[in-house]
Structure 1
């Protein structure tokens, strides 16, 4: 995977022994983690706040952290390189991750409007109404956006290019699969114990003081949700639960939000990672790993 510096220079492959591109169903939907061999000439471009790009689709990432991993690494006879770990996030969404100096409060609006108010510039191909959103001074909007999405049983799906879609969790399973596995070659993870602890039931109260609850199974924890009707309570109890991990050949066109069908059952990708490593960085491999999930069956029906 080629990395382009702010001066439009393409880094040589031997200077990037490890590159990992990650996509998630989160407010900042893609991150880039890499090891770069940096000398005095490159040092000014590998700094926090600088923009690096992936040549494959001209995707721009903003560096948010760097750390030196070692000194005096010899590359092509030059011992003056410093191995530097770089973490970068999708530039068009980077403002979502930073604490705000003023409060952002919206009611009865769209998620795209909230994204714009929080500083994101990425395009939106599909939108959802949100009843209430609040991000107070000193808080990063990313967490509050995830909370607002959960109240609508929805998530964010990045197309791997320049747009995102706000999508209901149930709608994810209506799309055709990107890959079909006739035989299950995944690692499986199933724990009713963990599910009962991590996915609570929710309750709230009406204006006249009556207590209302989500339609959930018994034997769960319980959390209070403010300003919630029955539908929101059910939405809060609708989750994607990780069930499988699939490691396969490099398939960078598959990302979080896509569907993998395993033995005639659909799973949505919660997290996707694509790894490129040189032989001197370990085994020297190119592979993709996907964390697959299914919808929680706690709620009988969510519109």
Structure 2
């Protein structure tokens, strides 16, 4: 896995100790955690705010966290150290910090909402949003996730850009790859599936009519939210549940939101984690990708 700076300088394979590239269906859908050898040059370049790129991901990432790693191992009389970093898409930094002002919009869209919350990036796809409220002191990602659930949409990295997509549309995409069912570790637990899904209900203005009660199921939590329409309740009951996981050789061409097929069944990649580890700081060397497969 190649990690390089915005000026094109590559972090050499001898200096890169480990890297985990994750894509998820969340408001900040791409993240990178990596560690390198501690050198004078990298110590100057790997600082908060530095811009990097990784693998096949075409968008730029910005480092938001840097931690020095110290070991007890000596080399030429000096302790071997490292630098651990966390990076997210450039322009998404304001989305992970509490707002200093309230953002209240009506008749808007997800793209407009993210920009109003401080994000500085152009999304590849957009969807309308009736209203949005993010009060002062609230982290925008939590509110974006809440409204995405109301509209049954997910955030993703697709076609080399960030965007939003209807959950139903994920299953209409072209199948990216076929996996052998024998390689999948299936989640065979009704209890775990019930924990991942709740039934949502609301009360009409008359105070007696309950919306969404037909959707409640035994063993699932029932959550009441006021002021919700039947459309919103139906959307909130659309949930991607993890059905299994699979580990394959490193392949960063498959990301969260891609459609895969296992035994003639379609599944959406809920999370993709691409891992590269030299084992220099302990443990085995790893070059693999893990995928969490989900269905409605």
Normalization by structure 2: what TM-score? 0.90
1:63 to partner: Cα distance: 1.5
| Counterpart secondary structure, 1:194 | helix
Distance in 2 (CA, whole Å) between partners of 1:192 and 1:142 is 29
Distance 1:4 1:235, change over 3 A: same
Residues 52 and 62, structure 1, Cα contact 8 Å, conserved in 2? yes
| Counterpart secondary structure, 2:14 | helix
Confirm or deny that 1:291 pairs with 2:292. Answer: yes
Structure 1's unaligned 5+ residue stretches are: 296-303
1:291 to partner: Cα distance: 0.6
1:74 to partner: Cα distance: 6.7
User: CA-to-partner distance for each residue in 1:101-155, whole Å, 9 max, x for gaps?
Assistant: 1111112211111111112233223222212211111111001000000001111
In structure 2, the residue matched to 1:129 is: 128
Distance in 1 (CA, whole Å) between partners of 2:38 and 2:2 is 15
| Counterpart secondary structure, 2:142 | helix
1:285 to partner: Cα distance: 2.8
Pairs within 5 Å for 1:181-220: 181-214=179-212, 215-219=214-218, 220=220
1:49 to partner: Cα distance: 2.6
In structure 2, the residue matched to 1:46 is: 46
Name the stretch that deviates more: 211-220 or 86-95: 211-220
In structure 1, the residue matched to 2:268 is: 268
1:87 to partner: Cα distance: 1.2
Distance 1:245 1:123, change over 3 A: same
In structure 2, the residue matched to 1:93 is: 92
Residues 204 and 212, structure 1, Cα contact 8 Å, conserved in 2? yes
Distance 1:52 1:73, change over 3 A: farther
Distance 1:58 1:255, change over 3 A: closer
User: CA-to-partner distance for each residue in 1:132-186, whole Å, 9 max, x for gaps?
Assistant: 211111111001000000001111121262x223111111111121111254311
Distance in 1 (CA, whole Å) between partners of 2:196 and 2:54 is 36
Distance in 1 (CA, whole Å) between partners of 2:211 and 2:15 is 56
Residues 36 and 83, structure 1, Cα contact 8 Å, conserved in 2? yes
In structure 2, the residue matched to 1:231 is: 231
User: CA-to-partner distance for each residue in 1:53-72, whole Å, 9 max, x for gaps?
Assistant: 22645542222222222157
Pairs within 5 Å for 1:73-92: 79=78, 82-92=81-91
Normalization by structure 1: what TM-score? 0.88
Distance 1:290 1:197, change over 3 A: closer
Residues 69 and 83, structure 1, Cα contact 8 Å, conserved in 2? yes
Residues 20 and 34, structure 1, Cα contact 8 Å, conserved in 2? yes
